[in-house]
């Protein structure tokens, strides 16, 4: 069973994805590939080939690193003990990564041999001695190391000598032979001993080491008691390199591990960074639980079980744990992702990129709240002398395509080209893995030549997620979460969400069942199959409503008029009716189409792939919410116009009593109310559920959209009252001013109006309840999005700095 233990993995790379770092800008054409920084706090300026053996997706990469570190440490110690140069071949381990070990041992040997009084040895001799060096092109970092050793210890060196000796590598080495003297040695042997000597029970500075939380080749993390403050902290002990404490000190956020301070032990060249102790383990431990649990058995309890398994204290109940326990597994993933996206957005506002998002760098509290840790290779533009290249690195399997390109020696992209969307991609990989238990990409698990491995990883990511991987998503995965993850994992940054704030809003949407089903219809539903294709629901509803109104008008008014005028007048009246209908209906229909044109044209255009400006989308959203009102108002105005045109004709050709005329006018208006109010809720329900969600998720919404939604909800209450009152008003108006004989003539229309009115109210009320919940869900979505933007996102124009390189 998984341990669930807090594996503080900063330099501790026990899981998938090796560490790369390039402290200097990438060298064009560098065949050695990215630098693998075994101790990420060491600034490695030149490319090394340690990456050839450490680019793995499993534990052997970390084991190889320890073997390499041990070999270098032993070889360096042998040099210090011996009176004559030790035999390098005796220290080369017979293990995977042998070539990388040879390269690093040669660097140590060069440094010792070229010192004053040493026995210098040229690179050509090593190449002849070790087949690992002759079998492949000599790595440029090894050429550079010999050049620097010779120059460092006073020998005049002509760069052209290396041009003749290594013509194939010259183009990669030439730009750096005049650079500052900085070693490319990945492993610094004397540093490992300092960390190895630390054991539980020791005291260092103000801290008593109580328990080991994690370790790697060049860093240790302990649970420690800080004596001066009488508190427990997580104490990370590394060597005095890097600027992680300065970076994290800028970040005060509920979903980022809080760093209290740092201390330096000058005589031992150690840096102590102490931070809050987060007791619930990491997402790496949760992933072990995911892999060991059947997909249909995963839910929020899985997260809590993983936390409780490694917790030192008995977990206590909390509202947060209760909330998590009630979630499905996809909802749990979205719950975690929303908080991590919040943390990344907060960091990005302050010019900080993380650039190493992975499960081991996400710590969990006992309640299940995630906290982002390990900003050791992040870049902050508020630290003096910082540049993106100096901090560049990360775990290969979680890197975005653009970050892999920045590692690639033949692609002209640098670390300074990355922005928060690169972290977004890595978070998408993490969430996908958490959701399915598998990595979204089929990367190789065995090490290969660094440049070749990078190229293959790039090709895989550029192709996107394979259908077979998509099919592994859980059956209960909401369509919204699927869309969000696929958007995060888009190969091109411009195809992802623009900010992590937008991603957080979308993940929050995944937790609102009604809102997410509105925005992303469930697979197989009618809306999912038809998308935004226009279907004639609105037109059919309008025609149906007008037909009901005309039917009532015919059953009531027409029958009364026909029984009270002469045959000649009947012919004239029929002709007038035909003329009025022919005039009013086209004008009314044309006006309706004009007022609601965007309700149809914009979704139709979006379905065909057309891109609209934000202002046009805003107008389309406003028109959609006002669509039903405009149709109802236009229709009723048309009925009033028809009344004016027909009323004069009836008065002119018929000898009707004043009471009968009043009754005809009142009943005509009731018929108009039937025509416009009975189909109203079907129209509103259709446009709100069919078109509006897609419009709300595109462009920039604001509180104005929330106000419009709220206003429509209030109007719907009014319309429901009108629908309910139409039968009662119709009965009163239908028999008013009529004698008994006239009432007997239209009693059928009154009964029809009552029955139809009751049925219409039942349907309208059912639609009203659905519409009310839909509007409330959409308002929650828009309000959360608007508050996120106005609450702190708009401050970005003031406080956010672009992530860029700052000259040293």
Residue 213 φ then ψ, to 5°: -100, -30
Nearest Cα neighbor of 88 from 35, 98, 62 is 98
Residue 186 token pair: 């990945």
Residue 669 φ then ψ, to 5°: -65, -35
Helix (H) or strand (E) holding 362: strand 362-364
Residue 303 token pair: 């997260």
For 271-299, the three-class secondary structure string (H helix, E strand, C coil) is EEEEECCCCCCEHHHHHHHHHHCCHHHCE
Residue 78 token pair: 């042998």
Nearest Cα neighbor of 650 from 594, 572, 709, 702 is 572
Residue 800 and residue 348 in contact, taking contact as beta carbons nearer than 8 Å:
yes
- Other Cβ atoms less than 10 A from the Cβ of 66: the count is 14
**Letter string b/e over residues 315-349, b meaning 16 or more CB atoms within 10 A of that residue's CB:** eeeeeebebbeebbbbbbbbbbbbbbbbbbbbbbb
Say how far apart CA 254 and CA 551 lie, in whole Å. Answer: 64
Centroid of chain to Cα 257: 20
Pairing of strands 362-364, 379-380: unpaired
- Other Cβ atoms less than 10 A from the Cβ of 523: the count is 12
**What is the Rg, in whole angstroms, of the alpha carbon atoms belonging to the chain?**
37
Which contacts qualify for 146-149: CB closer than 8 Å, 24 or more apart? 146/110, 146/122, 147/173, 147/177, 148/181, 148/182, 148/183, 149/110, 149/111, 149/113, 149/114
What would the DSSP string read from start to end of 758-789? HHHHHHHHHHHHHHHHHHHHHHHHHHHHHHHI
Pairing of strands 220-226, 259-265: unpaired
* 236 strand-pairing partners: 221, 273
Residue 148 φ then ψ, to 5°: -70, -40
Residue 627 token pair: 């669509």
**Letter string b/e over residues 220-239, b meaning 16 or more CB atoms within 10 A of that residue's CB:** bbbbbbbeeeeebbbbbbbb
236 is in an annotated binding site: yes
Say how far apart CA 296 and CA 328 lie, in whole Å. Answer: 10
CB burial of residue 800 (10 Å; 0-12, 13-18, 19+):
middle
Residues annotated within the binding site for ATP are 236
Residues annotated within the binding site are 236
């Amino acid at each position: 069973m998984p341990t669930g233990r807090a594996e503080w993995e900063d330099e501790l790379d026990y899981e998938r994805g090796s560490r790369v770092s390039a402290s200097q800008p990438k060298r064009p054409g560098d065949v050695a590939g990215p630098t693998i920084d075994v101790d990420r706090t060491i600034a490695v300026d030149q490319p090394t080939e340690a990456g050839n053996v450490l680019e793995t997706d499993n534990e052997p990469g970390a084991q190889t690193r320890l073997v390499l570190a041990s070999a270098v440490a032993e070889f360096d110690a042998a040099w210090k003990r011996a009176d004559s140069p030790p035999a390098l071949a005796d220290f080369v381990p017979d293990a995977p990564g042998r070539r990388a070990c040879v390269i690093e041992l040669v660097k140590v040997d060069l440094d010792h041999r070229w010192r004053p009084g040493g026995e210098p040895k040229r690179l050509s001799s090593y190449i002849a001695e070790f087949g690992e060096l002759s079998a492949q092109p000599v790595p440029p970092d090894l050429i550079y190391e010999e050049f620097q050793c010779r120059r460092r210890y006073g020998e005049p060196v002509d760069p052209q000598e290396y041009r003749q000796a290594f013509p194939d590598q010259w183009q990669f080495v030439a730009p750096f032979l005049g650079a500052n003297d900085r070693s490319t040695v990945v492993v610094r042997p004397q540093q490992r001993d300092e960390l190895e000597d630390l054991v539980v029970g020791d005291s260092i500075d103000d801290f008593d080491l109580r328990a080991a939380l994690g370790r790697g080749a060049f860093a240790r993390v302990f649970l420690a008691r800080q004596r001066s403050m009488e508190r427990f902290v997580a104490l990370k002990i590394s060597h005095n390199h890097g600027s992680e404490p300065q970076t994290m000190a800028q970040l005060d956020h509920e979903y980022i591990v809080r760093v209290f301070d740092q201390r330096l032990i000058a005589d031992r060249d150690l840096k102590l960074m102490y931070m809050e102790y987060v007791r619930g383990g990491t997402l790496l431990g949760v992933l072990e639980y995911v892999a060991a649990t059947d997909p249909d058995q995963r839910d929020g309890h899985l997260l809590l079980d993983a936390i409780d398994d490694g917790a030192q204290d008995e977990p206590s109940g909390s509202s947060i744990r209760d909330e998590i326990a009630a979630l499905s597994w996809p909802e749990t993933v979205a719950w975690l992702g929303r908080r991590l996206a919040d943390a990344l957005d907060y960091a990005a506002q302050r010019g900080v990129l993380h650039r190493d998002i992975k499960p081991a760098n996400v710590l969990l509290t006992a309640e299940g709240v995630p906290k982002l840790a390990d900003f050791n290779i992040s870049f902050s533009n508020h630290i003096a002398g910082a540049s993106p290249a100096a901090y560049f690195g990360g775990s290969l399997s979680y890197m975005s395509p653009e970050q892999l390109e920045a590692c690639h020696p033949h692609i002209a992209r640098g670390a300074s080209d990355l922005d928060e969307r690169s972290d977004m991609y890595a978070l998408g990989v993490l969430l996908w893995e958490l959701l399915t238990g598998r990595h979204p990409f089929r990367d190789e698990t065995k090490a290969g030549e660094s440049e070749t491995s990078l190229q293959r990883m790039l090709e895989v990511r550029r192709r996107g997620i394979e259908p077979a991987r998509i099919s592994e998503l859980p059956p209960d995965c909401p369509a919204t979460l699927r869309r969000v993850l696929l958007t995060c994992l888009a190969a091109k940054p411009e195809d992802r969400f623009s900010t992590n704030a937008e991603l957080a809003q979308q993940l929050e949407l995944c937790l609102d069942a009604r809102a997410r089903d509105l925005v992303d219809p469930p697979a197989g539903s009618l809306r999912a199959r038809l998308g935004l294709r226009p279907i004639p629901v609105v037109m059919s509803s309008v025609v149906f409503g007008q037909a009901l109104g005309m039917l009532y008008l015919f059953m009531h008014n027409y029958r009364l008029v026909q029984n009270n005028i002469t045959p000649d007048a009947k012919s004239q009246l029929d002709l007038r009716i035909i003329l009025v209908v022919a005039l009013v209906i086209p004008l009314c229909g044309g006006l309706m189409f004009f007022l609601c044109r965007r309700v149809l044209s914009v979704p139709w255009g979006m379905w065909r792939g057309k891109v609209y400006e934000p202002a046009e989308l805003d107008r389309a959203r406003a028109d959609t919410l006002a669509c039903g009102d405009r149709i109802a108002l236009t229709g009723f105005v048309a009925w009033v116009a028809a009344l004016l045109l027909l009323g004069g004709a009836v008065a002119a050709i018929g000898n009707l009593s004043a009471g009968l005329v009043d009754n005809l006018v009142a009943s005509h208006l009731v018929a108009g109310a039937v025509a416009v109010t009975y189909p109203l809720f079907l129209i509103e329900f259709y446009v709100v559920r069919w078109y509006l969600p897609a419009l709300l998720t595109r462009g920039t919404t604001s509180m104005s959209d929330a106000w419009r939604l709220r206003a429509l909800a209030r109007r719907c209450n009014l319309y429901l009252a009108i629908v309910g009152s139409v039968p009662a008003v119709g009965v009163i108006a239908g028999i008013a001013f009529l004698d008994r004989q006239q009432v007997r003539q239209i009693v059928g229309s009154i009964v029809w109006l009552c029955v139809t009115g009751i049925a219409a109210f039942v349907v309208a009320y059912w639609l009203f309840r659905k519409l009310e919940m839909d509007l409330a869900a959409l308002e929650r979505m828009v309000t959360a999005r608007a508050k996120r933007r106005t609450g702190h996102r708009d401050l970005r124009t003031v406080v956010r700095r672009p992530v860029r390189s700052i000259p040293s």
